[in-house]
Structure 1
């Protein structure tokens, strides 16, 4: 059935009969056993157009996926479109704008920004695609001063449900841009995008590592430091279990005024005796590597939650579940901006209605690890402070966990207008 599509592609059509199918079909998270019907490895935007037009004519589903982060079983039975080869990067330093192909990863953008005094909004790893990051919300090292990845999305080139490729922005289609800023791949296939760049004349990054035995006092100091830190300072805290021991770690970042970061770190240093204390100046290319998140595909499971205050009781709960080696490898706390302001309208443009986001990760596969994570998530319920964009969802999550009934209704209305036959499938489908 797919041979007609294969004939018009410049790139590859990979099906279960191909020898590299098992490799090509998988997302970045190897614990998600996604089972598409085929994968199109697009060589350019025309391959995306051909694929969408073919799918529409034959009643098939299309799922955009660049790097494979955020993969879920929602993509089963679809034609997954890989856009990795759409890797053009154009930087206008004066206008503080970048135009990027949909396959471009944050690491490549940040490298291109070295020496410019500007930064994008990379998160914990440079391996995430910019398109996926911005269309799912996107929390960055620089979200506190500069907002979410969704709010930085200026415009997008998409292939719509008719197979036509077109640029859209808030002037040409404000509703669709609102939906793209957090609604994921449910509305079209992004082939290129424009994003804001932000001032970063003196990036500084830091890591403090304390023995896990000092975690209670360090996390108490972290809570104080985050409430007192300047707006440009971002602090993340971890309880992590490594082969050489267990630690409470604090990572910090600021795009300018390194002394502001140092002031926040001094509060935390005083709470214990760090076994490692590193503060360094960074080029933009070094930002995504600060916390050394592995880039190669791996199998993991995670849960997320939010809270407004790191109280003594919450710290005790964190230590009870994550203070010693267990099925939970790491728990991470990210301090958010929690502002009602947003640069542009979007379903995920505004900051979450919470001061902190928590992520807990297990590298062990199977129902026991999933149960341990879910039990921990239930234990966090008394402090839960609101929903977050799909960028923080577990693979088993839903957009109903992210957005209000009113926002979901608006997303469905936009979906019906731009994709009435439901051709497009995002990592998290509209309920």
Structure 2
């Protein structure tokens, strides 16, 4: 029998628990599941709206939670009949049964894919919704919302195709298959790792989520060369988020790295990223998002404080739990040998590193260069460029591209 989550015993985290329970990813997963179970009521749209702004798709947090429940069940971490999963599914069934959900579904507007996905996930997890499913089939066949049209953004079409395939829906003929759509996404088009915006990085991570079914397959990604190139991109972005402290994207990029390696190994960068997530987690297990402000929380109490913590922590916490759940084994309790730890993203920290590091390859300086360029921090970029050249990497294309940008920013 697979381990579940007991209402009193707390979450079990599968085979990774036990002698290596101190490993960072297991600590993150255990804490996240403990927090989710303690805060399940806040995933209900009505509870959310008591203190927090109404969301365009009201069951949005529930939709994310059910996606996690599916991965946890598939990974053997939390069974779908465990208390946490049962209660999440109960809340989702209540949301779908609400008359407002039915009206929103029938509109077939820009939120239609999320209505369809929630119905599909409920069925995948053993709670079929025959009526809403039939409506989804009808709207999908009619291309309600025009989501299948070639002029629509590729990520939205990739998302819809993934939702439809995963839920067993018949996709419209005009909607290309998942592989074709993936090949038109930012992940497959050799993105400029120095200049990806946050929204473009999110698009990259989600394209990989859908193309790999959250780390479950790699056959749509191309050959070994394409996978290696993409993993190089992901690792530069992972390092850049690590030095900048972007926990949302750090968790998502860790999942992408696992999806691309297939070996579920742990090197120094992965270890440091998991250590950062574990170190940032609150005592209750929640992982704060970039918009969480402790000083704001300090001025709140009661339900307002609970709502603030939930609203500013739930997404990053779920992302971290997802990333931990797809790993085959825990991150080592001790840091593996390898590249030196990355400094902070500020120019002073990078400057100290540039003066003191005895030797390092692109695995160290490339994330720092990307972090500096993304922040338009000319001092940091100049410091890393100087270090990369001193280390013998002046001819690297990334160094040349960053130097050109730095010169262009400076002007005449």
TM-score range, shorter chain: under 0.3
**Which structure features the higher share of helix residues?**
2
TM-score by length of 1: 0.23
**Which structure features the higher share of strand residues?**
1
TM-score by length of 2: 0.24
